[in-house]
Amino acid sequence: MKSMEEMIAAAQKAAEQIQTQMNDVQAKLDDIEVEGAAGGGLVKVRATARGRIIGVQIDESLMKVEEKQMVEDLVAAAFNDARDKADRKSAEEMEKVQSGMGLPPGMNIPGFG
């Protein structure tokens, strides 16, 4: 049986490796882009898989004062669509890392799940 110090050292090393892998995944999520859309593509929002908004595109046919409320609603819907897609991509990437660690499906690592 290993000594207590050896077991603690092994646990610390494993924790450091997990933290490094999680940092790598978080950085990778900044490079993955998703696009949310609303109004049949009249409004589009590009975001990273971490949810950072990169850009908003609004079709010029919506640029009328009388369409203001609809445009605002479509922008909100496109943001939400982009956020949902970003969350799904993030979950996919985290699942890949967790399965690589031998963790059972659905087991979340605190702060990353």
CATH number at residue 57: 3.30.1310.10
Give me the pLDDT at residue 74, please: 94
Q: With respect to residue 105, please indicate whether it lies within any of the assigned structural domains.
A: no
pLDDT value for 113? 47
C-alpha dihedral, 74 to 79 to 80 to 84, nearest 10°: 140
Q: What is the mean pLDDT of residues 70-87?
A: 93
Specify the pLDDT at position 42. Answer: 95
Top pLDDT among 104 and 73 is at 73
Residue 62: inside a domain: yes
pLDDT: is 1 or 93 the higher one? Answer: 93
3-state SS, residue 2: coil
What is the arithmetic mean of pLDDT over 46-60?
91
Question: pLDDT value at position 29?
Answer: 87
In-domain check, residue 30: yes
3-state secondary structure of 56: strand
End-to-end CA distance of the chain: 34
User: Is residue 37 scored above 50 in pLDDT?
Assistant: yes
Mean pLDDT of 36-63: 92
Show the domain range for 76.
Answer: 4-98
For residue 20, being part of any structural domain is answered with: yes
Q: What is the pTM of this model?
A: 0.64
Select from 49, 18, 26 the least CA-distant residue to 36: 49
- Does 112 fall in a domain? no
pLDDT at 41: 95
- Higher-confidence residue: 108 or 68? 68
Flag whether 107 is in a domain. Answer: no
Structural domain tally of the chain? 1
User: What is d(CA 53, CA 8) in angstroms, rounded to the nearest whole number?
Assistant: 42
Is position 66 within any domain?
yes
In a domain, 106, yes or no: no
